Amino acid sequence: MKTLQDRKSNGSKLESPALNQTKATTSRQVQPEPADKTSHPRRPGLDELVPSRYALKVGEIDVMVISDGVLSLPSAMLGHNAAPSTRSAWLEDKFLPTDNLEWALNAVVVRSGGRTLLIDAGIGIDPGLNLPRAGRLVQRLEAAGIDLASVTDVVLTHMHMDHIGGLLVDGVRDRLRPDLRIHAAAAEAEFWKSPDFSRVSMPPGFPDALRRTGKRFLNEYHSQMRTFENEYEVAPGVVVQRTGGHTPGHSVVRLASGGNRLTFAGDAVFQVGFEHPDWYNGFEHDPAEAARVRVRLLRELAANRESLVATHLSFPSVCHVAIDGDVFRWVPGPWEY
């Protein structure tokens, strides 16, 4: 069984068999229910036309990538240490706008060993920022048939607001199970008690929003936090490993089952990072270390040919990494139905 097989996405009503606990356990296709193809703006948005979930298998582990929407940010954020002309040339070569770029926001649901894990929790809603196309995670979990009360563990790659904010949306905490465990690196939790923004290059408003969200999250969820130093196996075949760099406690999640492997890289990898791994992302708190982490991770993924998913790679994000001279090449996985 290949790592990238058994993926399924929603057109409008298509569900994942594994994550909706049906009896389908093979790669046979699940037929969508009959549905009209028109949009209904006044209806609760459970029948969106835009694809927002994508299921696959990693051995015996069920995985679903969920889109939290997109975040519009200045394109300079992709590499604030690069010459503007070089950065613009790269964007034009990729048929992308040179002023503002829409960053994907991906989270992942994993089922293994009787546990249901939510890896990162989306951006939520911040009244101080205008983010009209982000913060869709709770709605899209519901559309995928995933009840918040079924989530046994939340694994945080780090505590930037686009990874924790979904848990701060009004009413969400009341829907979570009381024995929910939230896993994060000890260094990450410590950092957000007094975060250092001296080396970032963020748009106005974001540092204050990140501080505000981090402080609130620690206050509201401190009793459910389960911190680890360097590595922790959350469920069978699901290991979270601290990398540092992007934030002091930034972590990646490694999945392994039946000889198949997938890494959820959080914010260690961005689209430009394959060809320009030395470009500094504006949200990196230690950009030089983040670049070293990126190179080490991409080399490893290229060598062992495992699948990669990352927060800000275009949905559904599932891809491979190839060596391309002194840098890397992004190889998107085929969309399988």
d(CA 203, CA 73): 8
Instruction: Indicate the helix (H) or strand (E) that contains 287.
Output: helix 287-304
Reported pTM: 0.86
State CA 270 to chain mean position distance: 11
Amino acid residing at 94: K
d(CA 91, CA 79): 11
Amino acid residing at 108: V
d(CA 312, CA 136): 15
d(CA 252, CA 327): 21
Instruction: Indicate the helix (H) or strand (E) that contains 218.
Output: helix 206-221
Query: What's the DSSP call for residue 306?
Result: -
Q: What pLDDT shows up at residue 187?
A: 98
- Cβ partners under 8 Å of residue 202, min gap 6: 77, 210, 282, 283
Strand spans (E) along 59-199? 61-74, 100-112, 115-119, 153-155, 181-185
Token pair for residue 26?
């093979």
Tens of pLDDT along the chain (337 residues) come to 444 434 444 443 334 444 444 333 333 333 444 343 333 333 444 567 778 999 999 999 999 999 999 988 899 999 999 999 999 999 999 999 999 989 999 999 999 999 999 999 999 987 667 778 898 999 999 999 999 999 999 999 999 999 999 999 999 999 999 999 999 999 999 999 999 999 999 999 899 999 999 999 999 999 999 999 999 999 999 999 999 999 999 999 999 999 999 999 999 999 999 999 999 999 999 999 999 999 999 999 999 999 999 999 999 999 999 999 999 999 999 887 7
State CA 274 to chain mean position distance: 17
Strand spans (E) along 59-194? 61-74, 100-112, 115-119, 153-155, 181-185
Q: What pLDDT shows up at residue 19?
A: 45
Q: Which residue has the tokens 């994000």?
A: 317
Half-sphere exposure of 334 (CA within 13 A, CB side): 6
Q: What pLDDT shows up at residue 47?
A: 61
Q: What pLDDT shows up at residue 32?
A: 41
Contact 87, 76 (CB under 8 A): yes
Strand spans (E) along the chain? 8-9, 53-58, 61-74, 100-112, 115-119, 153-155, 181-185, 225-228, 231-235, 238-242, 251-257, 260-264, 307-309, 319-324, 327-332
The sign of the dihedral angle between the CA atoms of 118, 262, 271, 211 is positive
Give the closest residue to 117 by CA, choosing from 144, 157, 151: 151
